[in-house]
Structure 1
Amino acid sequence: MPPRRNTRSNDSDQEGQQNPPPTDSTTAATAAAAASATAPACSPVVTFKSFQATKPPEFKGSADPVEAKAWLKEIEIAFALIEVTEEKKTEYASYFLKSEASYWWETSRAMEPEGLITWGRFTELFLERYFPDYMRDQMELKFLELKQGNMTVPQYETKFTELSRFVPTYVDTEKKKAKRFQQGLRSWIRSKLAILELDTYAAVVQKAMIAEAGSDSYMKERENKKRKVGASDKGQPQGTSQGQSNKKPGFQPGRSSSFKKPDTGNTGQDNRLQISSQQGVSRPPLPECRTCGKRHPGVCHRLSITCFKCNQKGHYARDCKIGIVCHRCKKPGHMIKDCKAPATVNNMIQAIEAPPAVDVQPLARTYNMSMREAVRDVDVLAGTLLVNSVSAKVLIDSGATKSFISETFVRKLNCLMEPLSGVLSVEIANQDRIPVSSYCPRCEIEILGNHFYADLLTFKLGEFDVILGMDWLTDYDARIDCKDKRVTLVTPEKRAVVFKGEKQAKKFLTMIQTKRLLRQGCEAYLAYVIDTEKEVSKLEDIPVVSEFPDVFPEELPGLPPDREIEFAIDLTPGAEPVSKAPYRMAPVEMKELAKQLQELLDKGIIRPCVSPWGAPVLFVKKKDGR
């Protein structure tokens, strides 16, 4: 009996023969596609090398918040480009911190707790360091105060975009951003855009640029028209009626007109002469007017001018001679500076006898000073002269309008005093006015054997006996040399007399001046001055000392006698010298210290001292701490 056939294996073999295993490339590709479709999608691995390939910028630390904010923005863009994970952001970004920024990050990271520092914490620390709150407030204020001003619309838009990054709350919507940009535009551009009611930022910027461009083209066209008109006017001949119609009498094109007060009666005539000469028309010269002294045709209008002071015709009030009275000779028509009459005291006193309604200024002025001040002052001269054969301290002061004599010095002279015809008001340095009613006529002043005379007003003076003022200096044609402190006078016989005032003597010499004088051979004396008039204290009047008169003799009998026992100070048993560490000084400082000490030793200011209780230092603190 034949063996029984296995039908299952046969069936499987038949199926295997019908579907053989895949051996070609097509079948492999199909299998790979099916596997990729069924397997989950995996993201590419981000490495530092791939992040560095984006070329992020470096940050070295800057005080400019714009630069810090821009660097942070560039780093975040690089993170988003290659999808850096949160765990790696801080590590990657900190690598690009250089110089000062790198030092800051090392310090900040050490102060943070152990563990991973998130990107949010890094951003917070970074902005706190390089973009603090006060900088944010400043940038916000700049944004709110931003105006177009002299900038063009593109320039204004660039500045607006730069500052808007720091204040996102003001530009978080399109409408708010467009409104804020429109508010900063020029008024005429803003008024044109207000009609359009634009809601988007891009539309506002575009319309503003169009409005500005149209205005620029209009202005250029207008300038071109002006240039063309100006060129046509220059090319037109001067003889045409059109060229003459634009000209007015007295107007010169190309020059700024000056509005001056015209001279009555002659300005128009002079202008006509000037215009005719400019037009090239030659005319014979006009005769000189006998009334005003000018050349003009027709009748002179000078006769029609009326003075408001005297109501007479022919002159102005500023040129009126009536009403001017000389205060010296009482004659009208001239002032005191032009008066040729001799100056006397009575004439001057009569000049101030004016009506009560008129405020008369003081006719005399003097500023009294001491002899020491006069010697130091370069504007005055002081010295000792003979006044009526009596020695007197005299001050020659050009600031005094009159000459004065002290009331106390008048009693020494026993000279004659005469009353003034009126009371003279004298103004002193503190603006006070003191009345003077008497004077000493023809007081004789002797200078180098020459006699000069002066009328001296009696006045209460200080240290000086006589003050010679401008009236006396004028009478003798005085010439004052302030540098050399001397005055040159001219006698009636036309002889020049020079008086030299006292100069301030130098009481002290500097060390350099003294050495120079000694080298030149000058003698020097060392004086030991004792005030013999000063009372010497007696021994009996001094407390405690009066109890031991034998200890304080008037004269020392000699040196103390030799003693058999040597003097010594017993120290405490076991005491040792105090050990004090020297100052810690650098070699350069020690060298400089030794140099200075040697200089002091050479000059004899200090001397060396050796003691077992000393220390190799300059100063040692004592037990009391001082």
Structure 2
Amino acid sequence: MAQLRDYLHTAVPAPLMDAEVEVVDLHAYIAKLDREFKTQRYDDINAPLLYVRIQIGEATCNALIDCGATRNYISQDFMVRTGLGPRVRRKSQPTQVTLAGGHTHKSIDRCIDSVPVYFAPHASEAVSFDILDTKFDMILGMSWLRSKDHPVNFFNRTVHVRDQNGVLVPCTVPLPHPSISCHLVFAASMRVSIIRDDIEEMGGCFLHALPAHDASSTDSPSDPRITELLDAYNEVFEGPHGVVPDRPIRHEIILEDGAVPPRGCIYRMSEEELSVLRAQLDDLLKKGWIRPSSSPYGVPVLFVRKKNKDLQLCIDYRKLNAQTIRNAGPLPRIDDLLE
């Protein structure tokens, strides 16, 4: 962002007194930016460097692959973001960082041992780091490169690691940082940045109105291949009806010993709410998702107004939840479910 801000300050021609000349210069400047973005001209000093996308806990970053570094390093800022502060320990003997020219840069007396780093789904390794004040979030040096089989191809810009089954899987290698980057921002966040006069959050901003979406184009696709595909899998796009078929696993609510069916009051509703409730009950009965029941268990319902002023049906299960034995099993990882 700093380089982009400096580029904008130096590249924009000084506005002339003639309004027409100023407009012509501005158009030429925007055209120049557009040409640079289309050709992806990489002017950053980081362009030749090779990174891999890694994840530690909930935090992600681009780790620099550096065969000239003898050890692995993590920055102070990224260490804080990952919440690894409590695992930091002091070294008995500080490590001296020596640059390529032979000059000693500084000594490092803090490190973190055996941090689980995810390089791909089902591909994690325990990596130890020295904490170094650097602009890179993470540097993977020879300590990591020679620890296991990590094929690195600088020509093709590919990095592979082995997953839990011993199979080589590719790491995510981000593209080099362009001198002009394109990001999606929301109008609300941009408005807040402008009000706060947050210079660090802004560089150059070009607003473009998206064309209105024509719903009729999606109803009748012009491409015959799309129409053929939709017809072949028409049942996939139909709304579900009836109860869920029998599955190997049947879920149940396990209650505490001696629990009796809770009793609750019926919440009062307005005429609008009663009509919406009747319509939703009729729809659920028609789909077969609910049925009349004489069970001793029953819970009240109520409505909450949504942002678009529609009514959202809510079911009050609080008394039933108070009698339910909590499931102590851990939730599955999202990446495992998507794999």
TM-score range, shorter chain: 0.3 to 0.5
Greater Rg by CA: 1
TM-score under structure 1 normalisation? 0.21
TM-score under structure 2 normalisation? 0.37
Q: Which has the higher contact order (CA 8 A, sep 6+)?
A: 2
More helix by share: 1
